[in-house]
Chains A and B, each alone.
Chain A
Amino acid sequence: MVQALPVREKITTWVNICPLAAILPNTGVCALVAGQQVAIFRLGYGADIYAVSNYDPFSKAFVLSRGILGSRSGIPKVASPIYKQNFNLLTGQCFDDDTVSIPTFQVRVVEDKVQIVVSE
């Protein structure tokens, strides 16, 4: 049967995930946020942070946080570590297949703490 679309709800709470230093520059980590696996990436050495779902729709494994970060024409992206499809970190859109995109999450750094929005 056809799956229902994930319902994105209004902003609710920001929750603390980890200190910024827990994410090495130019790498990602996976966080457990309200039962969901979220991949959080730190681009460069500062607080340039992105969050997308950790689920790789191509391999069906929860691994995107382990992908290599980079850019395509200036757009930040991550490559799946399994079959190397690339995803736009701003929108979740897959670069290699227009019909695929992954959920993104709101994320910020406050006082060196990485925070994510949890919808209820």
Chain B
Amino acid sequence: MTAKKNLVVIGNGMIGHKFLELMIAKKATEHWNVITFCEEPRVAYDRVNLSSYFSGKTAADLSLVTPGLYQENGIQMHIGDKAVAINREEKTVSSANGLKVSYDKIVLATGSYPFVPPIKGNDTKGTFVYRTIEDLEAMSTYAKNCQVGVVVGGGLLGLEAAKALQNMGLITHVVEFAPRLMPVQIDDAGGNILRAKIEALGISVHTSKSTTEIVSKNGKVTKMLFTDGSELPTDIIVFSAGIRPRDEIARECGLEVGTRGGIIINDYCQTSDPNIYAIGECALYQNLIYGLVAPGYQMAGVVADIFNNITTSTFTGADMSSKLKLLGVDVASFGDAFAKTPGAKEIAMIDAVKGIYKKLVLNQDGSRLLGGILVGDASAYGTLMQFVQNAIALPPHPEDLLMPPREGKSATTAMGVNSLPDTAQICSCNNVSKGQICAAIRENNLTDVPSIKKCTKASTGCAGCVPLVTDLLKAELKKAGIVVKNRLCEHFSYSRQELYHLVRTHNIHTFDELIQKYGLGLGCEICKPTVASILASTWNEHILNQAHVALQDSNDYFLANIQRDGTYSIVPRVPGGELTPERLIVLGEVAKDFGLYTKITGGQRIDLFGARVEQLPHIWKRLIDAGFESGHAYGKALRTIKSCVGSTWCRFGVQDSTSLAIELELRYRGLRAPHKLKSAVSGCTRECAEAQSKDFGVIATEKGWNLYVCGNGGMKPQHAVLLAADIDKETLIEYLDRFLMFYIRTADRLERTATWFNKLEGGLDYLKQVIIEDSLGICAELEAQMAYHISTYQCEWKATIEDPEKLQRFQHFVNSDRPDPSIVYVEERGQKRPAKEHEKFLFTASKS
């Protein structure tokens, strides 16, 4: 065995860390003694998301390094120690703390520093840059006493900084030298849309402005003067006028650097000294500094390969295409965005109302896409990039690509993954091609996206490529002749619908029986809750019975909604949203006595948050004594039936919507389904209860009721469809019983009625035939099933409180009565809320 050689890595920023991570993953740390100098007081963190530090993320949250990773792999990390000199004759590196280590190889990953323009007064108190956590801390401390802030530079980082200033409550200005914002990425038309959007957020934008002087008073910034004679008073200035590579250590030891800075590298990321490599923002490749992470990651990959004796990888330049979200506005720029290719043509679309700008750059004959710019809506970015990177022939009307995707069909599916060449880059974060993904699927018999992620690293970054990866998987399985069966999970080769029928027709009452007869293994978090839901819809036994308790999802497990800190929230049923003053008082008293946070929900009821497991039964005892019952907010079950006041009070109401909402809520309470069910009843066409956004909704008419079904609020809003008009209450209930049971029978796991409806072959006509005309001859059965459900309803909480065996589980520790000591609260607006990580730390520190 030969002795390990020394590899010194200088800089532990995003790229330096990526490099170390790759060395560890490839087990190269077994052959190299890795020594790293990290100038900052902490190991690598996510600089890209630096701004989220202001929205409550802590340094620990931003950290990129799993605690223990470096130590476990024998990497010597010198935190807070800067490498100050490289002696290429002695082959040593010395550090600010006086360390001297000898090296065989060096990797420079020293990044860059923010450029501060040479303006008079640029070092006055109150001027800042925006690159490190320390910069942010200094800036936010100073800004506490400021009212107005100016960012110099309207590029990507400048706009990030502007957002930070605005979040700190400052009146914010952005000053840009160029005639538009983000001059490097977007054109004038895009810049105008972006500017309008940003100004609408209350940030003032000044373009074509060049600063001549920063004026101070008592040593502090007071205003800026511009060449055009104008001025801008301000208390704080943040410079964000570009970056400059940190090449000082390379320069001093005689490595070649570019005329405008940057350590010159070749295709192997080697500097002019073959033993020294440079990667990331300090490296200059073909006269370019890449100010983005993705190219840096590619360089890190090339050098890690070299240290693993893989000599085929090279860095041959990277794409500067990028998709960003700035101040909530999507901005993307890709390929030849400025139509510099001879003969290039442009197609553009401007929607000044919605604030959207899209431009495509086509080649001379209009057959290929060369690049483009997207502002306001960059959802097509992934697809368009595929067209550019793979020179795919454009459809006959390329302008269609600028339009929003039509219902259910994204432009990607229209294009089809099969038409992509194997070299197509699918995941740009991790540089994974179609060929690599397909090979991984074939060679390892992968059948799901999580295994593809593990195997290829695709989709482990921004996750934007998940839909494409999913399409590839489906296509690949289909090619392999594998019937893409709607298999629930590795334990059941049946779909939910098939399992539902097995349960009913074979009279199966427990999960154990089902998995013994029709499944494999022990089950998992997918099949257990699915089967629990099927059993509950079918037999309606208490979900905490011994045979069912271990199947329940986190919320059902304790009949309450689990919160981020492991406590629970409680939502008693408030049928139709109607609540007597007495009960309202009880809710207030209970919340007060148990110290709960209270909030009105979006579902017309009241949520009490922050209850510990052991408190739940005591709280529910009080609520039940006052006449409340479980609201099933925790279950895939009927939630609320919202109402408006209707004809009882409202001068426009034509029917008593409140009474109907209450009647329906009491009829269907406790009904478990493939997903949650929501409903509303409105007293007239003004629709104050928003019934058309519900799984089932009812609107009063002069003659009776209109029944709407399969609407959705939430993630992808969809209007409900009219199933029947002007029907009386009896007919309404009959149709509803049938509709709900038909959905429960046939929908997939976690499929809301809207999604189910969209997949239903035959659509609304078919649904009407089944529900109204009884074309399948099952309506009597569906109604009987609903009648069974209604007759077996019990309040789950009441039954639990009366059963000592069930109560036994409501305890945090099995061997102690102590509550969970990790739960910590702080006060906000007169109520408690869970402490954030850093507040917990402060809290425990000040207590001890």
Chain A positions near chain B (C-beta within 8 angstroms): 1-5, 17-18, 22-27, 29-32, 37, 40, 43-44, 59-63, 66-74, 76-77, 79, 81-82, 84, 86, 96, 98-100
Contact = CB atoms under 8 A, between A and B. Distances in A.
B474 to A, nearest CB: 21
The 6 closest A-B pairs by CB, nearest first: A81-B554, A70-B524, A26-B550, A79-B525, A61-B566, A29-B814
A32 B809 contact: no
B84 interface: no
Contacts of A73: 490
Given A66-B557, A81-B562, A30 B43 contact: no
Contacts of A82: 554, 562, 564, 566
A7 to B, nearest CB: 11
A71 B812 contact: no
Nearest to A33: B815
B554 A67 contact: yes
B229 interface: no
B70 A68 contact: no
Given A61-B565, A98-B454, 9 more contacts: A1-B41, A1-B42, A1-B43, A22-B814, A24-B546, A71-B522, A81-B553, A81-B554, A99-B66
Interface residues of B, number: 49
Interface in B797-824: 808-809, 812-816, 818, 820, 822
A74 B525 CA distance: 15
Nearest to A27: B550
Nearest to B524: A70
With a 10 A CB-CB cut-off, give which of B65, B70, B450, B813 has the most chain A CB atoms: B813
A1 B79 contact: yes
B68 interface: yes
Given A32-B816, A67-B525, A2 B77 contact: yes
21 contacts: A1-B41, A5-B67, A5-B72, A18-B814, A23-B814, A25-B546, A27-B549, A32-B815, A32-B816, A32-B818, A37-B813, A59-B566, A61-B564, A62-B566, A68-B529, A70-B522, A71-B491, A79-B525, A86-B524, A96-B450, A99-B66
B837 interface: yes
Contacts of A37: 813, 820, 822
A66 B565 CA distance: 13
Contacts of A25: 546, 550
A34 B287 CA distance: 60
B846 interface: no
A3 to B, nearest CB: 4
B41 to A, nearest CB: 8
A76 B525 contact: no
B490 A72 contact: yes
A70 B818 contact: no
Interface in B130-163: none
B525 A3 contact: no
Contacts of A98: 454
A96 B42 CA distance: 27
B847 to A, nearest CB: 15
Contact of B524 (A17, A62, A71): A71
A37 B524 CA distance: 24
B558 interface: yes
B528 interface: yes
Given A25-B550, A61-B564, A84-B525, A3 B814 contact: no
Interface string B556-572: 01100010111000000
B837 A30 contact: no
B525 A71 contact: no
Contacts of B522: 43-44, 69-71, 76
A70 B523 contact: yes
Contact of A24 (B41, B549, B812): B549
B71 interface: yes
A2 B565 contact: no
B293 to A, nearest CB: 18
Nearest to B41: A1
A44 B67 CA distance: 34
Contacts of B521: 70-71, 74
Contact of B813 (A32, A86, A99): A32
B294 to A, nearest CB: 20
B318 interface: no
B99 interface: no
A68 B553 contact: yes
Contacts of A27: 549-550, 809
B69 interface: yes
Interface string B439-454: 0000000000010001
A10 to B, nearest CB: 20
Given A82-B554, A96-B450, A2 B65 contact: yes
Contacts of B528: 68, 70
A110 B554 CA distance: 30
Contacts of A2: 43, 65, 67-68, 70-71, 77, 79
A6 B86 CA distance: 36
A2 B17 CA distance: 13
B71 A5 contact: yes
A17 B562 CA distance: 26
A5 B823 CA distance: 24
Contacts of A62: 566, 820, 822
Interface string B487-500: 00011000000000
Nearest to B65: A2
Interface in B546-604: 546, 549-554, 557-558, 562, 564-566
A69 B546 CA distance: 15
Most buried by B among A4, A30, A96: A30
Contacts of B820: 37, 62
Most buried by A among B450, B521, B808, B837: B521
A101 B554 CA distance: 21
Contacts of B814: 17-18, 22-23, 29-31, 40
A88 to B, nearest CB: 13
Contacts of B552: 68
B427 to A, nearest CB: 17
A106 to B, nearest CB: 17
Nearest to B811: A29
> Could you say which of B490, B554, B557, B816 has the most chain A C-beta atoms within 10 Å of its C-beta?
B554
Interface string B384-411: 0000000000000000000000000000
A84 B526 CA distance: 10
B490 A24 contact: no
Given A63-B566, A70-B522, A82-B564, A31 B490 contact: no
A104 to B, nearest CB: 15
A67 B812 CA distance: 13
B409 to A, nearest CB: 30
Nearest to A74: B521
A2, A23, A98: which has the most chain B beta carbons within 10 Å?
A2
Contacts of A3: 67-68
Contacts of A67: 525, 554
B812 A30 contact: yes
A30 B522 CA distance: 22
A71 B822 contact: no
Contacts of B565: 61
A44 B515 CA distance: 13
Nearest to B72: A5
Interface in B483-515: 490-491
Contacts of A74: 521
A43 B67 CA distance: 31
Contacts of A29: 813-814
Contacts of A30: 812-814
Contact of B550 (A32, A61, A68, A79): A68
Interface in B31-72: 41-43, 65-72
Contacts of B816: 31-32
Contacts of B812: 30
A6 to B, nearest CB: 8
A88 B494 CA distance: 25
